[in-house]
Homo-oligomer: A and B are copies of this chain.
Amino acid sequence: MHILVTNDDGVHAPGIVALADALRPLGNVTVVAPDREMSAVGHALTLHHPLRATELAPDVFAVEGTPTDCVNLGVHRLLSNRPDLVVSGINRGGNLGDDITYSGTVSAAMEANLMGFPAFAISLATTGHDGYYNTAAAFAAQLARTIIVNGLPADTFLNVNVPDLPEDQVQGVAITTQGKRVYEGQIVAKTDPRGRHYFWIGSGIPDFSDEAGTDYFAVSRGKISITPLHLDLTNYASLEVLKNWRLS
Contact = CB atoms under 8 A, between A and B. Distances in A.
A48 to B, nearest CB: 6
A22 to B, nearest CB: 15
Contacts of A48: 37, 39-40, 52, 192
A98 interface: yes
A79 to B, nearest CB: 12
Contacts of A245: 146, 150
Interface residues of A, number: 94
A81 interface: no
B73 A199 contact: yes
A26 interface: no
B178 A186 contact: no
A49 B43 CA distance: 18
A236 B75 CA distance: 29
Interface in A197-212: 197-204
Copies of this polypeptide in the complex: 4
A155 interface: yes
Nearest to A142: B247
Contacts of A235: 153, 155-156, 228-230, 232
Contacts of A45: 40, 42, 102, 201
Given A12-B54, A114-B98, A47 B185 contact: no
A241 interface: yes
A203 to B, nearest CB: 5
Given A42-B107, A187-B73, A226-B242, A36 B35 contact: yes
A56 interface: yes
A172 to B, nearest CB: 7
Contacts of A101: 43, 107, 110, 114, 231, 233
10 closest Cβ pairs, A-B complex: A193-B202, A42-B42, A42-B43, A228-B238, A230-B235, A50-B198, A153-B238, A42-B44, A76-B187, A229-B233
6 contacts: A12-B56, A12-B62, A73-B187, A98-B114, A101-B110, A153-B235
